[in-house]
A = this chain, B = another copy of it.
Amino acid sequence: MKSHPPENETDPPISASAARRTQARIELRAKILAAAAELFIARGYEGLSMRQLGERIGYSPATIYLHFANKDALLLALLSDGYNELGRRLAAVAAATHDPLERIAAVGRAYVAFGREQPMHYQLMFMRRADVLRERLAERSERVDAFQVLQLTVTQAQAAGVLQPGDTLAISLTLWATVHGMVGLFLVGPPLPEAQIQVTIETTIAGILYGLAKEGLR
């Protein structure tokens, strides 16, 4: 940013046609990504072709290549969007909740809600192997890491004396596994009525938090 000339106090007006073009680009990008997510999940990384993807959404492969150079770029964009969105949401919920135990519960509920609202992203992010790409993502240090948000809430609750002291990583993994397991069952397991899902979410989060609370285990 430093090499750019200083910006004006107010941004210059954007012409209506430029705004429309930008909007169309954003919409097409989202459309390509949504179709790619479905195909990645149905057919795996190897099974997806740019031609097939184009047929699915009614555009030529050439149009898709204007937005994404190859399959890796597509998958990377999907994962990057997903991890960023999840990290932002959890950070916002954590920042908005004062009580340290309730903060963990709120982060847990937000995690489950994200998985249910973004099932395709969630499955790609956490229910498929994509090790190489994940390593490349990890190098992008600017992103808000959802797991770091969770670990921070655990550290804060331990510091406040309401969560058992000790292995912060194990407790954070336990909490992650707990909410991840619910999302997995809700997305792929037997169909359940919404009321049963809600009771299960509350029973699970309250159960694990009570079990891990300071008065809990040993």
Contact = CB atoms under 8 A, between A and B. Distances in A.
A216 B134 CA distance: 39
Contacts of A42: 44, 46
25 contacts: A41-B44, A42-B44, A42-B46, A126-B184, A126-B189, A128-B188, A171-B203, A176-B181, A176-B185, A177-B181, A177-B200, A177-B204, A178-B178, A178-B181, A179-B181, A180-B189, A181-B184, A206-B211, A206-B217, A207-B211, A207-B212, A208-B208, A210-B210, A211-B211, A211-B216
A207 B203 contact: no
Interface residues of A, number: 44
Nearest to A40: B44
Interface in A160-218: 167, 169-171, 173-174, 176-182, 184-185, 188-190, 192, 196, 199-200, 203-204, 206-212, 216-217
A200 B169 CA distance: 9
Interface string A40-69: 011110110000000000000000000000
A203 B204 CA distance: 15
Nearest to A147: B190
Given A174-B200, A174-B203, A177-B200, 19 more contacts: A43-B43, A43-B44, A126-B188, A126-B189, A170-B200, A170-B203, A173-B200, A177-B178, A177-B185, A180-B181, A180-B184, A181-B181, A184-B184, A206-B217, A207-B208, A207-B211, A210-B211, A210-B217, A211-B216
